[in-house]
Structure 1
Amino acid sequence: MPIRTLMDIERAIRSSWGADTCAPEDVPDWHPSNPARGQCGTTALVLNDLLGGDLVRGEVHRDRRWVDFHWWNRFAKSLEVDLTREQFAPDEIVGPGTVIERPPAICRLGGEYETLRNRVFAALDDGTR
């Protein structure tokens, strides 16, 4: 695979999202007008595959109640990249993140992750996205 910029990688990831790469519990809320919804776990893992760095996870609260976790990436201890931040409604608040270990290859998002990873790598290989 040729060297790509972060912009190339972001474009490939965003164009590869779909309901089939979304966390299963978020599929009812996923829509092409909010394509980042439910994509944070799979996206953070694919970006980690491509660029390394740390995986970061923060709690999501709605009306001061925990509802889920949000995932993103951290590089060089201070540069954070969150390609799915826009998925949240105004009443959903993401708390501070904690660096976590990468989950096993077969995790609850295994199929969705593989689908996204295959699409992104194909897009980067052929340069069409």
Structure 2
Amino acid sequence: MTTAAGPVPTLTEVAAAVRSSWDRDTCDDADRAGWSPRLPSRGQCGATALVLHDLFGGDLLLAEVWHPDGRLQGYHWWNRLPGGVEIDLTGDQFAPGETVQPPRVVVRPPGPPRRCGAQYALLRRRVLARIGGPGAAR
């Protein structure tokens, strides 16, 4: 399939572009100390969910993540694409016993993200370069 902007990349192609774009510089500041190339998805969920939302639309999903002892570990973001399919490219980032709770839909506010804006912008640039530019998906 093609659009006026050229070929539309598949979700598989976009996922590969996203995964190959992650590094310490695209990681959430809160997770940067724990990031490593052995677990590149750690701390990438917010920026990744926003990039997928840019490309495919749908819903942003947010859930609490709990430690095994019931303390809050943090928050996890992923996507529900149009048609209802959930995609979570960073679902493998959690340590044993960390539990992702049921999500809620979050409406994306206009403008750039308030948290991790630089990480999102960098990841977005890298992904768009790998898939062929800004009009590549939608």
Unaligned runs of at least 5 residues, structure 2: 1-5, 134-138
C-alpha root-mean-square deviation of aligned residues, in Å?
1.3
State the TM-score, normalizing by the size of structure 2. Answer: 0.87
Asked if 1 retains the 8 angstrom alpha-carbon contact of 2:57 and 2:82, the reply is no
Which of residues 111, 114, 120 in structure 2 aligns to 1:113? 120
Identical-pair percentage: 49
SS at match of 1:111: helix
State the TM-score, normalizing by the size of structure 1. Answer: 0.93
Which of residues 36, 54, 63 in structure 1 aligns to 2:59? 54
Output aligned runs, 1:34-113, within 5 Å: 34-62=39-67, 63-76=69-82, 78-103=84-109, 104-113=111-120
Determine which structure has the larger helix proportion and give its number: 1
Runs ≥4 residues deviating over 4 A: none
Output aligned runs, 1:1-20, within 5 Å: 1-20=6-25
Unaligned runs of at least 5 residues, structure 1: none
Determine which structure has the larger strand proportion and give its number: 1
Could you say which structure has the larger radius of gyration?
2
User: 1:56-79: per-residue Cα shift (whole Å, max 9, x none)?
Assistant: 000000021112110000023631
